């Protein structure tokens, strides 16, 4: 749970001069972006501009990529996540991630959700674990569809259900931050609407960063929007002003589908 009485301008995530290199190739050129608590921030921009690279910095997923080098400062709750004392497993529990393609484990629905709490030891006994699984599935809006078949394989679900299962799995460890990389790109409009509704509810508890290629989705869901282009952050601000009156011509051209 989050502490109460936080100051309004207290950023959940602060990034200073982030650069990322894949071998010789620089993918991010000094990004400075601060993310507020309990808001949805969307990252938009053309393919290859570095959106996924950026959000992977926040839970140090780039560590897993060979030849990938991250520089700069990333603070979560004012704590440097690249600090030697940082426990990466704990960090990934605190910063959950949902990917473009739903990737449930080839295990039962129950075990998919129970996986995190078991690993991180966030529950004391079987009863607490069952409660946690139920609560997470409910919060992800999947409970009603699966409560009578928790033993079925996660892979037996439809794409939209699998994505909600992955969201349930991510929130089962009570993260503070949820990173979502194009979570709806493989879903139909109904499943997308369900997930969007869910994200809207989740932002009451979590700080959410979402990468999306749907301008309408970014406009509907997020309070803040960052526009990336070729590894630089071109514009960042309130979503309402970015989509009605962007300050930068490149942003305008991109969101309106113009030839830049």
Partner 1 sequence: MKTNNHINTGFDEDLKSLNNNIAKLGGLAETQLYETMQSLADKNVYKFNKIINRDKKLDALEDEINKKVVEFLAIWSPIASDLRNVLVAHKISSILERIGDYSKNISRRSLIIIEDNNFSTLPVNIIGLGEHVQKLLHNVLDAYMERDVDLAMEIWSQDIDIDRLYLSLFKELTTIMHDNPEEIKDLTHMVFISKNLERIGDHATAIAKQIYFLVNGSMPPDHRPKADFNID
Shortest distance, CB of residue 45 to ligand ATP, whole angstroms? 6
Q: Whole-angstrom Cα distance, residue 225 to residue 45? A: 10
Smaller CB separation from ligand ATP, 68 or 155? 68
> Could you say which of Mg ion, partner 1, ligand ATP, none residue 244 binds, taking C-beta under 5 to 8 angstroms by partner kind?
partner 1
Least separation, in Å, of the C-beta of 226 and ligand ATP?
Answer: 11
Which positions from 45 through 64 interact with Mg ion, judged by CB under 5 A? Answer: 52
Binding map of partner 1 across residues 197-236, x = CB under 8 A, - = no contact:
------------------xx--x-----------------
Check binding of 99 to ligand ATP (CB under 6 A). no
Classify the C-alpha dihedral 207-212-215-221 as positive or negative. negative
CA distance linking residue 71 with residue 49, whole number of Å: 17
* 49 is a contact residue toward partner 1 (CB under 8 A): no
For 251, phi then psi, to 5°, come to -65, -50
Q: What is the DSSP string of 115-152?
A: HHHHHHT--SSHHHHHHHHHHHHHHTT-HHHHTT-TTS
Q: Look at residue 65 and give the partner it binds from Mg ion, partner 1, ligand ATP, none, a contact being a CB closer than 5 to 8 Å depending on partner kind.
A: ligand ATP
C-alpha separations of 88 from 21, 59, 168 in Å: 20, 8, 21
Q: How far is the CB of 21 from Mg ion (least distance, A)?
A: 17
Select from partner 1, Mg ion, ligand ATP, none the partner in contact with residue 215, using the beta carbon and a kind-dependent cut-off of 5 to 8 Å: partner 1
Q: Residue 17 contacts by C-beta under 8 Å, 6 or more apart in sequence?
A: 30, 31, 32, 71, 72, 73
Does 51 help bind ligand ATP (rule: CB under 6 A)? yes
Instruction: Kindly list the residues in this chain that would bind Mg ion in the complex (CB under 5 A).
Output: 52
**What residues line the site for ligand ATP (CB under 6 A)?**
22, 25, 27, 45, 47-53, 65
């Amino acid at each position: 749970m989050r502490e109460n009485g936080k100051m309004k301008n207290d950023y959940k995530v602060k990034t200073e001069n982030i650069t990322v290199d894949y071998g010789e190739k620089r993918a991010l050129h000094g990004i400075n972006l601060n993310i507020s608590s309990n808001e949805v921030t969307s990252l938009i921009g053309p393919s290859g501009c570095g959106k996924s690279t950026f959000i992977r910095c926040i839970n140090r997923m780039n560590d897993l990529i060979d030849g990938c080098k991250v520089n700069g400062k990333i603070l979560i709750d004012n704590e440097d996540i690249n600090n030697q004392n940082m426990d990466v497993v704990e960090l990934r529990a605190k910063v959950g991630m949902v990917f473009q393609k739903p990737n449930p484990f080839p295990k039962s629905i129950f075990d998919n959700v129970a996986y995190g709490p078991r690993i991180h030891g966030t529950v004391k006994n079987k009863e607490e674990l069952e409660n946690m699984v139920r609560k997470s599935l409910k919060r992800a809006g999947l409970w009603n569809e699966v409560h009578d078949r928790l033993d079925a394989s996660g892979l037996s679900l439809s794409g939209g259900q699998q994505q909600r299962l992955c969201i349930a799995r991510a929130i089962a460890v009570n993260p503070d931050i949820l990173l979502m990389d194009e979570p709806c790109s493989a879903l139909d409009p109904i499943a997308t609407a369900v997930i969007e509704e869910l994200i809207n509810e989740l932002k009451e508890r979590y700080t959410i960063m979402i990468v999306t290629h749907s301008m309408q989705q970014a406009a509907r869901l997020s309070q803040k929007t960052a526009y990336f282009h070729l590894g630089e952050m071109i514009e960042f601000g309130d979503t309402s002003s970015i989509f009605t009156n962007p300050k930068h011509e490149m942003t305008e051209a991109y969101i309106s589908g113009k030839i830049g």
